[in-house]
Amino acid sequence: MTALTTTPDGFLLNGTPLRIISGALHYFRVHPDHWPDRLHKARLMGLNTVETYIPWNLHQPEPGTLVLDGLLDLPRFLRLAAAEGLHVLLRPGPYICAEWDGGGLPHWLTADPDIRLRSSDPRFTGAVDRYLDLLLPPLLPHMAASGGPVIAVQVENEYGAYGDDTAYLKHLEAALRTRGVEELLFTCDQADPEHLAKGSLPGVLATGTFGGRIDRSLERLREHQPQGPLMCAEFWIGWFDHWGGPHHGRDTEDAAADLDRLLSAGASVNIYMFHGGTNFGFTNGANHHHTYAPTVTSYDYDAPLTEHGDPGPKYHAFREVIARHAPVPDEPIPSPARKLPPTTVELTHRTPLLPLLSTTKATPAPEDPLSADALGHRAGYVLYRTTLPTEGLGLLHFAGGVGDRAQIFVDGAPVGVLERERHDETLAVRVPRPGAELHVLVENMGRVNYGPRIGTPKGLLGPVTYDGTPLHGWDCHPLPMEAPPTLPLDQTPASAPASTSASAEPAFHHGTFEVRTPADTFLALPGWTKGQAWINGFNLGRYWNRGPQRTLYVPAPVLRPGTNDLILLELQATTATRAHLTDTPDLGPAAH
């Protein structure tokens, strides 16, 4: 049996002093074939531990289910960590933040407006309990008590920034203990007296989250908890990006100096992030303080190990700092991975999206349109269709706005875009004839992951009127798009000029390219506007010329020797018919 315990100023592992030097590595943001490589590089930097969240929303897409395969094969990740000789800090939430879709809370739960999230409301704790009933049994063999790598488990996540329901935290503690978790439990909160007071539990180790002001942050942690290990559970060494904002970074020397201050003070640390990875598919979250701000596809975080797994400047600097305080493997630092030679991909065929809807099942809404949440739709798009009663120039009004970005079409012609971040609700349109078709394509740009707006619905969020007349009789088409649809064989060549309405409507663009030996690469899309990209059916994530991100990471395991398929869902007009695979990522100009 392996046991992590605490002393008045540190940790003991099986009675031997242990300083935790950890790095955050989210298995669900890394292609599974790359897990061994990333874990190996964690150990070579000098880490003895890795930390990961567990995203409830992906592991349990529907009540009563549990997904533990592919990108979500957490038991395999834990076995690989153990094989590399690394301990693991496990953070199962239920709320994880993580700039992740909905903060990890399932859409089927947050869609109920009456549930008090992250509270002792029995509707919420009951759902958590039923999830843990399924999640924990396959994880218990990997706990330290069974000889596995997991030495500590977190209770909730920065709860002091959200609420003060101690009964809820006690319920979570008991839920873990009664289901067989014997390991050390800990909470983590920003190093603020009020947050620490509201987010901590008696008998549970309190840890802090901060990126600077090391001495003051540790003092506040010690003031709150007079005895026990000092630990920064999230040492922020970079940051994340929003569409339309700058690409964030942090000066390497500054971050390394603060890491040295932490370790010199005798504290344990979890570097957030050691390796950020990617928000593949529709998994990014969003902030919504005054304005809705969705997170980009890359979660590079300016981390020591880049999004594509190469050691960056912080890797070398942090390794030198760690070597002053703990043993570092006497092995060479890995070289950058081989990259695919630059390749041009011709997008030779184009299939408009709207005509494909005749092949998809619609949910009728006789009165007002249904939100994505009412349709049971977690992510992706919803396309709404109805008819307009009269011709002429008039105002379309969307009561409640849109969640999060709506493209409007009249008889197939694009007439405008509404965005939640601009608080858009009204659009002037010209209707060519009575009975003209109105299509509204609404994109979920990512569910809020922090603060009181978690659970904000998606899709059309209220009644729709045209010049004051309610529009009824909607067909609602959920379009999850985790994989692209099977495109019809009669695709048209991508040769129509972009000035035509046909080429300005959303369309799938398809092309192939040859690969001799698969290797990492980066998809660049100059001339394309906004959409989604798949290679060989793998959803790389969103692209948007709004930036800052300009390339999408393509992991080598996504590719295959021989012919490979690229499909883009381009939502706007484009003059482009080519895409490029390059050997250099471009996440935008750094804003230190």
The set of catalytic residues is 158, 234
Given a contact cutoff of 8 angstroms between Cβ atoms, the answer to whether 563 and 221 are in contact is no
Q: Give which of 82, 89, 91, 92 is closest to 147, Cα–Cα.
A: 82
Distances (CA, A) of 282 to 76, 104, 244, 410, 506: 23, 13, 18, 28, 18
According to DSSP, the residues that pair with 470 across neighbouring strands are 465
Q: Cα(78)–Cα(141) distance, rounded to whole angstroms?
A: 10
Q: How far is CA 81 from CA 88, 89, 182, 189, 375, in A?
A: 7, 11, 20, 26, 39
Q: At 183, give phi and psi (nearest 5°).
A: -70, 165
Q: Residue 279: which of 532, 62, 518, 525 has the closest Cα?
A: 532
On whether the CB atoms of residues 298 and 241 are closer than 8 A, the answer is: yes
Residue type at 230? L
Question: Computed from CA positions of residues 167, 169, 173, 176, in that sequence, does the dihedral angle turn out positive or negative?
Answer: positive
At 8, is the secondary structure helix, strand, or coil?
A: coil
> Half-sphere exposure of 578 toward its Cβ, with a 13 Å CA cutoff?
7
d(C-alpha 67, C-alpha 220), whole Å: 40
CB distance 128 to 172 below 8 Å: yes
Q: What DSSP designation does 468 have?
A: T
- Distance between CA 540 and CA 278 in Å, rounded? 9
Rounded CA-CA distance 187/165 in Å is: 14
User: Which residues have CB under 8 Å from 250's CB, separation 6+?
Assistant: 211, 236, 237, 238, 239, 302, 592
Task: Give the H/E segment covering residue 227.
Answer: none
d(CA 511, CA 244): 28
Burial class of residue 204 in the structure, from the number of CB atoms within 10 Å of its CB (0-12 exposed, 13-18 middle, 19+ buried): middle
Parallel, antiparallel or unpaired: strands 205-210 and 184-190: parallel
Length of the chain: 592
> How far, rounded to the nearest angstrom, does the alpha carbon of residue 40 sit from its chain's CA centroid?
23
Please, is 532 exposed, middle or buried when counting C-beta atoms within 10 Å of its C-beta (0-12, 13-18, 19+)?
buried
| 418: β partners | 406
Q: Rounded CA gap, 241 and 549, in Å? A: 9
